[in-house]
């Protein structure tokens, strides 16, 4: 047999096979219902104001035994720090004044004194932003629990409540 004839036969068989596969696929597509993508709910990011309102609602409803102050300057709790050794002049990169801190988002108070600080921050602001670090340092110096929440996270209600209770107990 001639090599050319064999090649033509193989090509014919391959063509028949492909046509058969296409017909089967077409009939399968026609008998199967059209698949539609499921509608997905895409949650938009909350604004800072919406996050504050969300946490305010949780604090008022779940921690009603505490009074709540918002956007409290660090100096309201820590006072102004005296610079007896003039560190702010000689080592300004290593000394931090209380007034340089990020205002506490919420302060929980009972019997006229602060009991805990709740801070809201974006990204890794609690770790990288000096203002948050100063606020955290002064909360620790005052022996106040510093409860931080990242606003890029879901912060489901039960999680927020549980975490705050853990720090208060």
Q: What would the pLDDT profile of 71-91 be if each residue is shown by its tens digit?
A: 999 888 887 766 555 555 665
- What are the backbone angles phi and psi of residue 152, rounded to the nearest 5°? -85, -5
pLDDT over 70 for what percent of the chain? 76
- Closest to 69 (Cα-Cα) out of 28, 110, 129: 110
- Model confidence band, residue 94 (pLDDT cutoffs 50, 70, 90): low
Please compute, for residue 58, the number of CA atoms within 13 A of its CA located in the half-sphere on the CB side.
19
- Does residue 1 carry a pLDDT above 70? no
pLDDT of residue 105: 94
- Model confidence band, residue 166 (pLDDT cutoffs 50, 70, 90): very high
pLDDT of residue 6: 78
Pairing of strands 146-150, 104-110: unpaired
- Model confidence band, residue 25 (pLDDT cutoffs 50, 70, 90): confident
128-157 pLDDT, tens digit per residue, is: 677 888 888 888 888 999 999 999 889 999
pLDDT of residue 111: 92
> How many degrees, rounded to 5, is the angle at CA 161 between CA 145 and CA 43?
115
- Closest to 146 (Cα-Cα) out of 135, 161, 130, 155: 135
Polymer length of the chain: 169
pLDDT of residue 132: 85
pLDDT of residue 88: 57
- The pLDDT of 62-67, averaged and rounded, is 95
Is 151 in contact with 51 (CB distance < 8 Å)? Answer: yes
- Model confidence band, residue 119 (pLDDT cutoffs 50, 70, 90): very high
């Amino acid at each position: 047999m001639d090599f050319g004839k064999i090649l033509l036969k193989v090509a014919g068989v391959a063509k028949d096979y492909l046509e058969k596969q296409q017909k089967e696929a077409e009939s399968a597509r026609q008998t199967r219902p059209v698949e539609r993508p499921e509608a997905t709910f895409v949650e938009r990011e909350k604004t800072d104001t919406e996050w504050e309102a969300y946490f305010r609602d949780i604090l008022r409803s779940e921690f009603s035994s505490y009074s709540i102050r918002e956007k409290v300057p660090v100096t309201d709790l820590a006072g102004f720090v005296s610079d007896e050794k003039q560190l702010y002049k000689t080592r300004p990169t290593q000394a931090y004044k209380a007034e340089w801190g990020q205002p506490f988002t919420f302060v929980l108070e009972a019997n006229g004194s602060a009991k805990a600080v709740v801070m809201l921050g974006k990204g890794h602001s609690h770790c990288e932003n000096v203002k948050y670090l100063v606020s955290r340092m002064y909360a620790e110096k005052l022996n106040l629990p510093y409860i931080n929440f990242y606003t890029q996270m879901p912060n489901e209600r039960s999680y927020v409540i549980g975490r705050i209770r853990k720090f208060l107990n």
